[in-house]
Amino acid sequence: MNIYSFICHVKPRDEHKIDQIFQATLLLVKQKGLAGITMSEIAGAAKIATGTLYIYFESKEKLINELFTQCRKSSVDIYFKDYESSQPFAVGLKRIWFNLLEFRMNHFKESVFMDQCYHSPYITETTKDLTKKMIQPLYKLVERGKAEKELKELDTFMLLIFMVSGINEYVKHSVYSEKKITKASMEDLYNLMWDGIKA
């Protein structure tokens, strides 16, 4: 405990321990769903005591919300990795689409967790609203695609949803049926999507 803590009562930041807790939670949610996990299970899986959990998160709700927020942040970071708005539209789109796919594949637990949260009593409306804001760049990109006559002249949200939804379901299916996703199948899925949306 340092002097700063006395003044500001900031939350402790043993980032390593927080990560342990987050990873434990993600794993358990994937295995048993949000409905089936308890604080002591999380503590157990994170190899700390229940009491310790409450040093880092003041309640279960806070823990879930903060994990959600962090998942969302890291997902957005990945979504726009290596994306330059200066690139031609088609290049940028493919870049982002593969980023989305990559995230779903490599962070499957996070995806499941975020899906589950959406209909849970833990996530507040504010948290949900924030999520919407973070996809703004993607929204912009689609608008640009329409402006450049590369995409069909349809409702932007419809295009957005159509582009993304196949990824979620395809990855889910692959994980549960334990089928590897090959580079070729990724291209196939992209082409299905692209043939759908292109002008």
Residues that bind DNA (CB under 7 A): 1, 5, 9-14, 17, 37-40, 48-56, 58-61
* Total Cβ atoms within 10 A of residue 19: 12
Q: Give me the least distance between CB of 90 and its own copies, in Å please.
A: 16
Q: Which amino acid is at 10?
A: V
* Contact with its own copies (CB under 8 A) among 108, 152, 156, 175: 152
Of the candidate spans 38-46, 73-81, 112-120, 141-149, the one that interacts with its own copies by CB under 8 A turns out to be 112-120
Contact status, residue 12 vs residue 56, Cβ threshold 8 Å? yes
Report, in Å, the least distance between residue 128 CB and DNA: 20
Stretch near its own copies under the rule CB under 8 A, chosen from 12-20, 95-103, 141-149, 151-159: 151-159
Is residue 159 a contact point for its own copies (CB under 8 A)? yes
**CA 183 to chain CA centroid, nearest Å:** 22
Q: Does 138 bind its own copies (CB under 8 A)?
A: no
Q: Report d(CA 26, CA 128) in Å as an integer.
A: 19
Q: Does residue 170 touch its own copies according to CB under 8 A? A: yes
Partner in contact with 189, chosen from its own copies, DNA, none, beta carbon below 5 to 8 Å by kind? its own copies
Residue 82 — φ and ψ, nearest 5°? 60, 15
Q: How far apart are CA 54 and CA 51, in angstroms?
A: 5
Which of these, 80, 76, 21, 69, lies nearest to 45 by C-alpha position?
21
Q: Are 171 and 104 in contact (CB under 8 A)?
A: yes
Check residue 129 for interaction with its own copies (CB under 8 A): no
**Residue 196 lies near its own copies (rule: CB under 8 A):** yes
